């Protein structure tokens, strides 16, 4: 058999984005611009029949490329309207050979028809993706669960816009990311259509299906809603009462809310932890007690709309830029609400972390530890150390500039450090190096006079 030439090899897109944290996720050779997902779902049988129309742009000459796709079966694939006869599907990839190679820079359209019984993807962090509830569906895709329900380029650096059209039994409420633009009932089934105009990472794309009622939360500013089972309404009214004030605080500290509205879904099932999606957050019924027991988590998930959803890491090693910021928002809310000050929160968590093992690098924790609570808390401590160094006026100017200049974009730690340096009147690289690049726990610096 003849050995492939280097030219031939170069025309096949890589079957990985090259991110060492998720070496089998993402694909090379193209960038997705838009996903149009037309789905028909049967709640009673967990049967999904769908067509994905994907608009992409080649970043090299492509004779072959791959999509992340898991657990479902593709029955027909076309590229630019021409059906491909060379199709390979493995456990995690759909490999497509277009009838005619694609030129570097060319925009092209992939249409994939597929069906099956969607289920979560197994990962080293547990099962992620499409999951059946006792009566409905939850999709929690972080970090690698999106391929459980649609073919995609599953890496956070490839953000795209979306159209979701989903049909289900009429008794159920369906929610996807973006704006609901059309709802059509036909006999016992209802079709819901959502447009997500802001670029979004694949892991943040979601479908929520359940027997939910809608509860309004905010009477002013950003529209805020909670979808929930009817019996939880009294407790939820009390638990989410503070969310309007959280939104006002975060808009002052971080800048304008980056999406049109914000909806929290409370499932009828218990969930281990709340989860964020773009424009949405998902809580379990166990998080609703009517006593404010989840107030810290409500603040955390809301803050992710700025840090994680609008500003999304280019590589998973920088996850402290999402989780550390959301954790720090908890401390800001604690102070605003009259509870412990951010200073007191930082001192408490510093003492607690100081009693734990010093064996994690916050700026590059490794795949197995990317969701370690020390990344969250030490990331927040990094921000508090920066606040003490810069003082409040400069620190919050940095956060607002960061959120504005990278709105709906991709971010990295070097970019954040470079922004801070433009504002700082003292050197800050040593501060970041000590907090992000070393396993030892630095001491918090003295307070700036304005901190």
Torsion angle of the four alpha carbons 228, 230, 235, 239, in this order, in degrees rounded to the nearest 10:
20
What is this structure's pTM? 0.95
Tell me, what DSSP letter sits at residue 182?
E
pLDDT the model gives residue 10 = 54
List, for the chain, all residue ranges whose pLDDT scores fall below the cut of 70: 1-10, 451
User: Quick one: tokens of 227?
Assistant: 């979808």
pLDDT the model gives residue 218 = 84
CA distance 262 to 279: 5
Length of the chain: 451
Domains of the chain listed by start with CATH number: 10-208 (2.60.40.1730), 213-303 (1.10.390.10), 312-436 (1.10.390.10)
* ∠ Cα 323 121 146 (to 5°): 60
Q: What are phi and psi of 426, to 5 degrees?
A: -130, 160
Cα 5 to Cα 58, 59, 314: the distances in Å are: 21, 20, 32
CA distance 97 to 204: 28
Q: Look at phi and psi of residue 32 and say left if phi exceeds 0, alpha if psi is from -120 to 50, else beta.
A: beta
Instruction: Tell me the helices (H) and strands (E) count for the chain, helix number first.
Output: 10, 23
Nearest to 202 by CA among 144, 258, 281: 144
Residues 6+ apart with CB under 8 A from 363: 317, 318, 320, 413, 436, 437
CA distance 424 to 444: 18
- Per the CB < 8 A criterion, the answer to whether 41 and 115 are in contact is no
Which residue in the block uniquely carries the two structure tokens 């930082």? 346
pLDDT the model gives residue 370 = 97
| 333-384 per-position pLDDT tens digit | 999 999 999 999 999 999 999 999 999 999 999 999 999 999 999 999 999 9
Cα 283 to Cα 11, 143, 168: the distances in Å are: 45, 18, 22
* ∠ Cα 38 40 43 (to 5°): 145
Q: What are phi and psi of 120, to 5 degrees?
A: -65, 155
């Amino acid at each position: 058999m003849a050995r492939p030439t280097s030219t031939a090899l170069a025309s096949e897109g890589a079957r990985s984005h090259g991110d060492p944290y998720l070496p089998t996720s993402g694909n090379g050779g193209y960038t997705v611009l838009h996903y149009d997902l037309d789905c028909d779902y049967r709640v009673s049988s967990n049967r999904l029949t769908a067509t994905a129309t994907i608009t992409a742009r080649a970043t090299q000459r492509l004779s072959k490329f791959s999509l992340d796709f898991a657990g479902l079966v593709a029955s027909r694939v076309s590229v630019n309207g021409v059906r491909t006869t060379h199709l390979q599907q493995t456990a995690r990839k759909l490999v497509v050979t277009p009838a005619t190679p694609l030129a570097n820079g060319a925009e092209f359209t992939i249409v994939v028809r597929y069906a099956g019984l969607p289920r979560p993807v197994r990962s080293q962090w547990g099962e992620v993706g499409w999951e059946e509830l006792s009566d409905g569906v939850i999709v929690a895709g972080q970090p690698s669960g999106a391929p459980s329900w649609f073919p995609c380029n599953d890496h956070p650096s490839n953000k795209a816009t979306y159209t979701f059209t989903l049909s289900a039994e009429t008794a159920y409420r369906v929610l996807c990311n973006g704006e609901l633009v059309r709802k059509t009932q036909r006999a016992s089934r209802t079709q819901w259509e959502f447009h997500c105009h802001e670029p979004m990472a694949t892991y943040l794309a979601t479908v929520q299906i359940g027997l939910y009622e809608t509860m309004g939360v905010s009477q002013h500013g950003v529209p805020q809603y909670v979808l929930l089972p009817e019996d939880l309404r009294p407790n939820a009214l009390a638990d989410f009462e503070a969310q309007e004030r959280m939104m006002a605080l975060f808009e002052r500290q971080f800048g304008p809310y980056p999406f049109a509205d914000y909806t929290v879904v409370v499932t009828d099932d218990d969930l281990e932890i709340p989860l964020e999606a773009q424009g949405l957050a998902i809580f379990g019924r166990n998080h609703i007690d009517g006593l404010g027991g989840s107030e810290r988590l409500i603040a955390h998930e809301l803050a992710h709309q700025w840090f994680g959803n609008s500003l999304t890491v280019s590589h998973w090693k920088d996850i402290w830029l999402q989780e550390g910021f959301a954790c720090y928002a908890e401390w800001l809310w604690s102070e605003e609400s009259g509870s412990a000050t951010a200073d007191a929160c930082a001192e408490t968590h510093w003492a607690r972390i100081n009693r734990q093992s010093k064996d994690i690098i916050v700026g590059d924790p490794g795949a197995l530890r990317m969701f370690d609570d020390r990344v969250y808390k030490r990331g927040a401590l990094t921000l508090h150390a920066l606040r003490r160094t810069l003082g409040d006026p400069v620190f919050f100017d940095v956060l607002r500039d960061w959120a504005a200049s990278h709105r709906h974009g991709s971010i990295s730690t070097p970019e954040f450090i470079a922004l801070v340096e433009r504002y700082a009147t003292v050197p800050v690289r040593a501060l970041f190096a000590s907090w992000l690049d070393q396993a030892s726990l630095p001491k918090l610096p003295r307070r700036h006079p304005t901190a």
